[in-house]
Homo-oligomer: A and B are copies of this chain.
């Protein structure tokens, strides 16, 4: 392992800005690493698109990170993690690729070993069933219920993360899952990177005692583990500040992105990148 390789940044991509919740967890978990984040904002959302389209977009996004010589790729998008991992691994081996679905599934099983586990996600993640497969690979008998929550994404992007509108939408999606005492979920997976910013309102609807699994945190732990295992961790000096790439409107990326990253994003740290020309 060369020091140059260990010093290389970790690449993260998402369809937009939601994956910044994963980056936030990674920066907290791995304070010595450098990060490059790509948001494919020209083509978001991925969550309503077909698996073939999402795979093609994901390979283009990861390709732009590879050209910046990243040492590891984090797919900080549930939709892309659910459908594009095989295509990404095939395209970029031996660079490791890690998604958010498997760490989220593992955390759900440890929070509620027998279920019922409720998966909240976008339409296409629900339709693809990736969380169901990942959880059943760990426990074939776990009871699982899925709920598509498409309005959570624009609510989060609009900063409407609290108040009566967010609460009514959360009730609309979640109340039916929790209506029957016998089958009440024992754990809720926030299966879309936008959803952690709505955590408070979701907790209020499902009850404070039901654990919410935020795959951002468990993915950060999985990345730390992988870096150690492959001897890829960066040591020594302070890391460079993170760099951001957006396929559209860098100014909007900086403005909306801070809701998800939880800190300011300087507009001059967001570069425009054109994936179709890449």
Contacts and interface: CB of A to CB of B under 8 A. Distances in A.
Interface of A: 41-44, 48-50, 53, 150-151, 153-155, 157-158, 160, 164-165, 168-169, 172, 248-249, 252, 276
B165 A158 contact: no
Given A50-B249, A53-B248, 19 more contacts: A41-B48, A42-B43, A42-B49, A42-B53, A44-B48, A48-B248, A48-B249, A49-B248, A50-B248, A150-B154, A150-B158, A151-B154, A151-B160, A151-B165, A153-B154, A154-B154, A165-B168, A165-B172, A276-B276
Identical subunits present: 2
Contacts of A48: 41, 44, 248-249, 252
Contacts of A43: 42-43
Which 3 A-B residue pairings sit nearest by Cβ, starting from the closest? A154-B154, A50-B249, A165-B168
Q: Which of A154, A248, A252 has the most chain B CB atoms closer than 10 A to its own CB?
A: A154
Q: Which of A41, A153, A160, A165 has the most chain B CB atoms closer than 10 A to its own CB?
A: A165
B49 A249 contact: yes
A249 B158 CA distance: 26
30 contacts: A41-B48, A41-B49, A42-B43, A42-B49, A43-B43, A44-B48, A48-B249, A48-B252, A49-B248, A49-B249, A50-B248, A50-B249, A53-B248, A53-B249, A150-B154, A150-B157, A150-B158, A151-B151, A151-B154, A151-B155, A151-B158, A151-B160, A151-B165, A153-B154, A154-B154, A165-B165, A165-B168, A165-B169, A165-B172, A276-B276
